[in-house]
């Protein structure tokens, strides 16, 4: 589970790390959601929607005991450690999860432009509809339905400010908390787009350092 084959993406200022979630974690996280939504009382207890930006069907907070049981926190910490070491040539000694949650998104729902708390955050995909629908203007070649969009800085000559990511089951993207991002709605399907996110802090001196190593 600790095999963190990370690639670094740097389309603009901050780096973004891409890694594949171990298949057993994807299964366990999906099973947790599928079982939780059968229990109305538990679903309400774990409801995380009021604390988050999106206009989506349901957002469920992951319980600490469950995270410990499946090794979710351990995998996040290990992945973040590899990412920071690759990018800054330093090793983190602290990793504290502030919260981690599942987003259940359905047709016409969206997640508006926002940032996160903590120092590091990220999103990974547990379920993705087979078809996210066609754009309203079908002649358009750029279909943004259901994609994740990361935004930084301003667009200029030889300088893009947007990275568009097509969701794929198992893919996870780590990025700094301040990186603005949003998720577009999708259409023409009853299938669920299910993702998992987290907020965490690391060593303050590493987060605040301007040294590139």
User: d(Cα 88, Cα 33) in Å, to the nearest integer?
Assistant: 36
pTM of the model: 0.91
Q: Which fold has domain 8-202?
A: Jelly Rolls (2.60.120)
Task: Tell me the average pLDDT across 58-78.
Answer: 95
Residue 45 vs residue 178, higher pLDDT: 178
Secondary structure (DSSP) of 60-97: EEPPHHHHHHHTHHHHHHHHHHHHHHHHHS-----EEE
- Mean pLDDT score of the chain: 90
pLDDT digits (tens, 9 = 90+) for 6-31: 999 999 999 999 999 999 999 999 99
Q: In what order do the strands lie in the sheet with 171-176?
A: 7-9, 16-20, 171-176, 120-127, 193-202, 95-105, 58-61
Residue 213 vs residue 56, higher pLDDT: 56
Domain residue ranges of the chain, discontinuous segments joined by +: 8-202
Which percentage of the chain shows pLDDT scores above 70? 91
Q: What pLDDT score was predicted for residue 56?
A: 81
């Amino acid at each position: 589970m600790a095999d963190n084959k990370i690639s670094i993406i740097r389309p603009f200022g901050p780096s973004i790390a891409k890694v594949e979630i171990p298949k057993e974690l994807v299964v366990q996280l999906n099973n947790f959601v599928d079982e939780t939504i059968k229990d109305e009382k538990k679903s309400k207890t774990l409801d995380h929607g009021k604390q988050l930006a999106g206009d989506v069907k349901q957002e469920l907070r992951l319980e600490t005991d469950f995270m410990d049981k499946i090794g979710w926190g351990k995998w996040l910490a290990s992945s973040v450690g590899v990412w920071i070491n690759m990018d800054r040539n330093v090793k983190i000694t602290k990793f504290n999860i502030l919260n981690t949650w599942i987003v259940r998104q359905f047709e016409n729902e969206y997640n508006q432009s926002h940032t996160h708390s903590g120092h590091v955050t990220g999103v990974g995909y547990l379920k993705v509809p087979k078809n996210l629908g066609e754009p309203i203007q079908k002649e358009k070649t750029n279909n943004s339905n259901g994609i994740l969009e990361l935004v930084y800085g301003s667009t200029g000559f030889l300088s893009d400010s947007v990275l568009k990511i097509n969701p794929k089951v198992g893919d996870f993207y780590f990025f700094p908390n301040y990186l603005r991002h949003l998720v577009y709605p999708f259409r023409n399907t009853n299938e669920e787009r299910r993702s998992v996110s987290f907020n965490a802090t690391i060593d303050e001196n590493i987060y605040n350092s301007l040294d590139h190593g």
